[in-house]
Amino acid sequence: MSASPAPSGSAPAPSGAAPAPVIAARDVHVHLGGTSVLHDVDLTVQRGELVALLGANGSGKSTLLRSLVGILPLDEGRIELFGSAVAERSVHARLGYVPQYAAEPGTIPATAREMVATGLLGPRRWFSRAKDPRIDALLADLGLSALADRPVNQMSGGQRQRVMIARALVRSPELLVLDEPFSGVDVATQDQLAILLRRLVSRGTTIVVVLHELGVLAGDISRAVVLDQGRIIHDGDPSSRPLIDPGHDHALDAAACLGQEIHP
Amino acid sequence: MIISPWDLLTSDIMRYPLIIAVLIGLTAPIVGTYLVQKRLSLLGDGLGHVALTGVAVGWLVGAWISATPVDLLAIPGALIASILGAVVIEIVRELSHTSRDVALAILFYGGIAGGVVIIQLAGGGSQNLMGYLFGSLSTVTGSDLVITIVLALIVMAVGLALGKVLFTVTADEEFARASGLPVRAMNILIAIIAALTVTLAMRIVGALMVSALMIVPVAAAQSLVVGFSRTMRTAMVIAVLCSLGGLILTAYVDLPPGGVIVLLTIGVYVLGQIARPVIQARRRRQAAA
């Protein structure tokens, strides 16, 4: 849990004052199907951080991510992005979201170019052109130029994942949120995506990424947040020891996520 | 004497049905493309069932106020019932997966059962519903034409002008929500234009087959072309040609137009499936070149 102060009010910070955190989540509780999935979650993310959300299956990391981008409603608590409540649509123009690979494409053979063009739409923008030059530039950047007019539903997992990332990046988001971007993706594509994420961080983009393990991003992540049974059990430098009793099961889980061995 | 297709196209008897057939061909695949993308191919079917209750209620009200003809309010009744049904279906769809399947089934069967019972109360019989169930040419009136043109213009305006937003919402609802798009409103809008299409198409194609004209041309088009908007445009061409072809055919052979039109679209789909390996091989050669 970060020591950053909670932002005051929902209005963007006036000029001269310290900018509001990119993400400020307070006392977040989420229930899904009658089961409590997140409890008492506090999370503050500042501009330029690369934060990994880690945890075992069912720990609540994807639920937290989906709450942060406003897909899941909260039962209690409050989430602010850039100082505004997440329910305010206007704030979503500054956000890029890459859903989990499991988000299957439909049966209609939409092309990569058409799919990426949907990333240009936002709360105040309901129209886009598939010929927008930003789309071609990004497709080239992600090595997808030759696939621009191919149907997404006939692509491999790695190609499809890159299309989803292009779709999130095409609007040049200040906050990029990715849900397990490396699952079902070959090692070469993982390395390529890691280089891309590094470049985005160096330009000041804030990134929050759900991961199963630190993997190719181990050297880049500035903060690791480990969840277990809907609670944050570790929040800090990924190389630091979990902050709880090493004999506790949670410590073992947290350490495993961080690739550490625990010697009681 | 056998009249030429041109004389047929320009004859007074066929003018209304032909205009309606073109409008159905243009609108049904627009809605169908969004429904296929949302994996809601059977929504049109459900709305057709619900529209029958609307037809019967319209008939009942027409009988009460001694309207001439008695089914004057049948199509307006179908319109109101299918829009209400569409909104209810969309709300139910947001409920949990386990309950929505059964809830939708109850709504569909309730629609057709309500139609059969209410038409009896209105002093008619289920034979009065036949024209609405299976489609008919003889029942098309001037007021039907006006209603059809207005509804078709609304469906085309919404379905084409908001195409980018509707595609984004149907392609990936979570991404659309994270992008700050009004997902719920767009889903309800799609359900409403589906209801309008059901109403405008049921006179000729019939409530039981209207969904086929939304879905089958799209299924045929997606094996022939690549791209969301190209699939939609190709499906519109297929549906217009099949609607016109079916209608002209039934002028020469005494067959129900709805059934013939739907069989023609299925024929195009089958041809598309046969041609698919050839088209894909050519595409691969072009990509490799």
User: Nearest CB to B178: which of A70, A146, A150?
Assistant: A70
Tell me the domains of chain B and their CATH numbers.
5-288 (1.10.3470.10)
Residue contact A177–B178, C-beta within 8 A: yes
Would you say domain A47-60+94-257 falls under CATH 2.30.42.10?
no
Which tops the pLDDT comparison, B193 or A257? B193
Residue contact A149–B226, C-beta within 8 A: yes
Instruction: State whether residue A149 sits within 8 Å of chain B by CB.
Output: yes
Please say if the pLDDT value at position A54 is more than 50.
yes
User: Nearest CB to B171: which of A33, A118, A151?
Assistant: A118
Long-range (24+ apart) CB contacts under 8 A made by B62-65 are B62/B122, B63/B122, B63/B123, B63/B124
Which chain B residues are within 8 Å of A66, Cβ to Cβ? 174
Please say if the pLDDT value at position B154 is more than 80.
yes
Which tops the pLDDT comparison, A215 or A241? A215
Instruction: State whether residue B168 sits within 8 Å of chain A by CB.
Output: yes
* Per-residue pLDDT band at A107 (split at 50, 70, 90): confident
To the nearest whole Å, the CA of B269 is away from the closest chain A CA by: 15
Instruction: State whether residue A33 sits within 8 Å of chain B by CB.
Output: yes
Instruction: State whether residue B276 sits within 8 Å of chain A by CB.
Output: no
* Per-residue pLDDT band at A8 (split at 50, 70, 90): very low
Residue contact B172–A127, C-beta within 8 A: no
**What is the rounded distance in angstroms from the CA atom of residue B77 to the CA atom of residue B56?**
8
Lowest mean pLDDT among A69-83, A234-248, B209-223: A234-248
Q: Biggest alpha carbon distance in chain B?
A: 71
Q: Please report, for chain A, the start and end positions of each structural domain, with discontinuous segments joined by +.
A: 47-60+94-257
Average pLDDT on B19-31 reads: 94
Please say if the pLDDT value at position B53 is more than 80.
yes
What ipTM does the predicted assembly reach? 0.86
Residue contact A97–B175, C-beta within 8 A: yes
Query: HEC profile for chain B?
Result: CCCCHHHHHHCHHHHHHHHHHHHHHHHHHHHHHHHHHCCCCCHHHHHHHHHHHHHHHHHHHHHHCCCCCCCCCHHHHHHHHHHHHHHHHHHHHCCCHHHHHHHHHHHHHHHHHHHHHHHHHCCCCHHHHHHHHHCCCCCCCHHHHHHHHHHHHHHHHHHHHCHHHHHHHHHCHHHHHHCCCCHHHHHHHHHHHHHHHHHHHHHHHCCCCHHHHHHHHHHHHHCCCCCHHHHHHHHHHHHHHHHHHHHHHHHHCCCCHHHHHHHHHHHHHHHHHHHHHHHHHHHHHHHHC
Mutate to test the interface with B, among A35, A118, A127, A135 (most CBs of B within 10 A): A118
Average pLDDT on A202-206 reads: 93
Instruction: State whether residue A32 sits within 8 Å of chain B by CB.
Output: no
Q: What residue type is B91 in one-letter code?
A: I
Please say if the pLDDT value at position B23 is more than 80.
yes
To the nearest whole Å, the CA of A241 is away from the closest chain B CA by: 34
Average pLDDT on B8-20 reads: 81
Mutate to test the interface with A, among B36, B100, B164, B179 (most CBs of A within 10 A): B179
Mean pLDDT of chain B: 88
The pLDDT > 70 percentage for chain B reads 96
**What is the rounded distance in angstroms from the CA atom of residue A99 to the CA atom of residue A106?**
15
Which chain B residues are within 8 Å of A114, Cβ to Cβ? 167, 227-229
Instruction: State whether residue B33 sits within 8 Å of chain A by CB.
Output: yes
* A178: nearest CA partner in chain B: B175
Give, in order, the Cα–Cα distances in Å from B224 to each of A105, A198, B227, B228, B271.
18, 41, 10, 12, 10
Residue with tokens 């009681």: A264
Mutate to test the interface with A, among B173, B228, B279, B284 (most CBs of A within 10 A): B228
Supply φ then ψ for residue A193, to 5 degrees: -65, -35
Mutate to test the interface with B, among A92, A100, A108 (most CBs of B within 10 A): A108
In the A/B pair of chains, how many CB contacts fall below 8 A? 105
Which tops the pLDDT comparison, A75 or A11? A75
**What is the rounded distance in angstroms from the CA atom of residue A161 to the CA atom of residue A109?**
16
Residues A230, A221: contact at Cβ < 8 Å? no
Residues A60, A38: contact at Cβ < 8 Å? yes
To the nearest whole Å, the CA of B179 is away from the closest chain A CA by: 5
In sequence order, which residues have a C-beta less than 8 Å from that of residue A190 and are 6 or more positions away?
A: A182, A215, A216
Which tops the pLDDT comparison, A255 or A126? A126
In sequence order, which residues have a C-beta less than 8 Å from that of residue A66 and are 6 or more positions away?
A: A72, A179, B174
User: Tens digits of per-residue pLDDT, A149-171?
Assistant: 999 988 888 888 889 999 999 99
To the nearest whole Å, the CA of A166 is away from the closest chain B CA by: 13
Residue contact A97–B174, C-beta within 8 A: yes
Please say if the pLDDT value at position B97 is more than 80.
no
Residue contact A111–B38, C-beta within 8 A: no
* A165: nearest CA partner in chain B: B175
The first and second tokens of residue A70, run together, are 């406003």
User: Nearest CB to A121: which of B37, B165, B287?
Assistant: B165
Instruction: State whether residue A219 sits within 8 Å of chain B by CB.
Output: no
pLDDT at position A7:
36
* Per-residue pLDDT band at B155 (split at 50, 70, 90): very high
User: Nearest CB to B168: which of A93, A121, A146?
Assistant: A121
To the nearest whole Å, the CA of A187 is away from the closest chain B CA by: 25
Q: In what order do the strands lie in the sheet with A95-98?
A: A95-98, A175-179, A206-210, A50-54, A223-228, A231-236
Please say if the pLDDT value at position B139 is more than 80.
no
Other CB atoms within 10 A of residue B184 CB: 14
